[in-house]
Amino acid sequence: MTGRQKIEVALCPAGTPAMPAVICYEGIFIRDHWRDLTACPWWYAHSPEVEHQLAWLRDVIRAIGQDWFILPLGHSAQERQDLIISVEDVGVFRVNRATGMREPLAPPRVSGLDHNTRSVRPENPPLSAAQVDAAIPIPSDPGPNAVLADGRADLPRHMLQEFGRDLWPFCHVISPLWGCYRLWGFEGMMTLIADDPHLVMHACRRFLELTERRIREAAAIGSAGVWIEECFTDMISPRIFERINLPLVQRMVHVIRQAGMKSIYYYCGNPADRWDLLLAAGADALSLEESKKTFTIDIEDIVAHAQGRCAILGNLDAVGVLQDGSEDDLRREIARQIAAGRRNANRFIMSLGSPVTPATPVERVRRYCDAVHAL
């Protein structure tokens, strides 16, 4: 079976006889390990040229050995005509030949080097419906096929031609409620959920409209699935989660399914008091963190709650096992997770609970993928 076939079957009721291997948030891994993954210059990642993008993607896909890849929109035909990358002694710039604008570019910055990551309330947060509308503009909808007409589908078309037969293409979106974090910050979002839920719902409806467009665009360019990311919603009560958040996620899942794709719901947080609500979202697969912070999420418990109703993704510990564990630790945990996945009617995709860390070598990630494929 190809990697794509393994994932497609894992997401179906029949389950898969051969377990696929993936890592979550591969973009973070690529950013942190660029020099070890490809000999291409870092600015290829910013280039409008399709062949530049394909060059580094080929290297990365060969190096990792996983069974899926993110399918992005590319630059439009007009952008590819207007934009060039200018490598100069004083730096690297993206230059618009039509306007003369020069945008300085910087090499990827390894995560974890900037420790000033605490949540800060944005300046002048929107506190009325009109202000929310201004903060979340919704332009006229040209329809999902606009990406085919303007050339943004050219890069994904080439990626599908090269990688799409063997690997499963998917895209990322975030849930509408999680999107509110960028409007109000953590404290502001949580306070408004309690004090002004109507304003929060107004913002969520606008985020949802934009996300639905992104989902339909993803289907138009050939994506097979959508990863729905959600954070911080374990910090609201199950009652509020059910009333405000669950209908939004259910709507996203419906739109994804209606577009002919599969959905993976990545719930970042403690699921302990809302298992039924997470499963009620109706996603084709549920993905959870590994045990950390102040809570435990064991693969055995996930299987016990899912009971084959949806596929589940593994939550191998990205630090304790992948980064710091011995080779035996890694093999044992992979085998344990896969054994649990078999009890979920073989509806299982071997994955990590969190992104690969900067301290984890590329070779270690490849050994993880190869070890999964060997079982």
Cβ distance 73 to 155 under 8 Å? yes
Sequence-ordered list of residues with C-beta below 8 angstroms from that of 135, at least 6 positions apart, any chain: 126, 183, 203
Give pLDDT, residue 305: 97
- CATH number of domain containing 250: 3.20.20.210
Q: Is 93 exposed, middle or buried (0-12, 13-18, 19+ CB in 10 A)?
A: middle
Taking the C-alpha atoms of residue 281 and residue 268, their distance in angstroms, rounded to an integer, is 15
Q: How far apart are CA 250 and CA 263, in angstroms?
A: 11
- Does residue 111 carry a pLDDT above 80? no
Mean pLDDT (whole number) for 66-91:
97
Q: Is residue 97 located within the same domain as residue 173?
A: no
Q: Give residue-wise pLDDT tens across range 117-158.
A: 445 578 889 999 999 999 999 999 999 999 999 999 999 999
Mean pLDDT of 170-176: 98
For residues 315 and 204, state if they share a domain. Answer: yes
Please give the Cα distance from 283 to 288 (Å, whole number).
13
Statement to judge: residues 266 and 207 lie in one domain: yes
Task: Give CA–CA dist 269/120, Å, rounded.
Answer: 20
Residue 169 lies in a domain: yes
Domain count, the chain: 2
Place of tokens 């390990």: 33
Tokens for 265, please give them: 């719901």
Report pLDDT for 109. 79
pLDDT surpasses 70 at 107 = yes
Same domain, 91 and 130: no
Determine the Cα–Cα distance for residues 299 and 282; give it in Å rounded to an integer.
20
Average pLDDT over residues 233-251: 97
Give 343's contacts (C-beta < 8 A, 6+ positions apart): 303
Within-domain flag for 228 = yes
Q: Which pLDDT score, from 0 to 100, does residue 118 have?
A: 46
Instruction: Indicate whether 93 and 203 sit together in one domain.
Output: no
In a domain, 61, yes or no: yes
Q: Give yes or no: residues 161 and 51 share one domain.
A: yes
Residue 153 lies in a domain: yes
Per-residue pLDDT tens digits for 201-219: 999 999 999 999 999 999 9
Rounded average pLDDT over 177-193: 96
The answer as to whether 209 is a domain residue is: yes
> What is residue 117's predicted lDDT score, i.e. its pLDDT?
42
Kindly indicate the confidence band of residue 344, based on its pLDDT and cuts at 50, 70 and 90: very high
Same domain flag for 95 and 136: no
Contacts 24+ apart (CB under 8 A), 59-65: 60/26, 60/30, 61/163, 61/167, 63/36, 63/37, 63/38, 63/362, 63/366, 64/23, 64/26, 64/29, 64/37, 64/362, 64/365, 64/366, 64/369, 65/21, 65/366, 65/369, 65/370, 65/373
CA distances, 15 to each of 2, 288, 311, 312 (Å)? 15, 19, 8, 11
Q: Are 131 and 280 contained in the same domain?
A: yes
Domain that holds residue 283: 3-74+126-374
123 vs 47: which has the higher pLDDT: 47
Residue 115 resides in a domain: no
Question: Residue 22: which of 341, 359, 259, 295 has the closest Cα?
Answer: 341
Residues 70 and 85 in one domain: no
pLDDT above 90 (res 8): yes
Q: For residue 121, is it within any domain?
A: no
Torsion of CA 30, 36, 41, 46, to 10 degrees: 0
Query: What is the distance between the alpha carbons of residues 1 and 56, in angstroms, rounded to a whole number?
Result: 26
Regarding whether 49 and 26 lie in a shared domain, the answer is: yes
Tens-place pLDDT, residues 315-338: 999 999 999 999 999 999 999 999
| 238 and 308 belong to one structural domain | yes
Same domain membership, residue 333 and residue 233: yes
In a domain, 204, yes or no: yes
Q: What average pLDDT score do residues 239-267 get?
A: 98
Nearest to 252 by CA among 237, 240, 267: 267
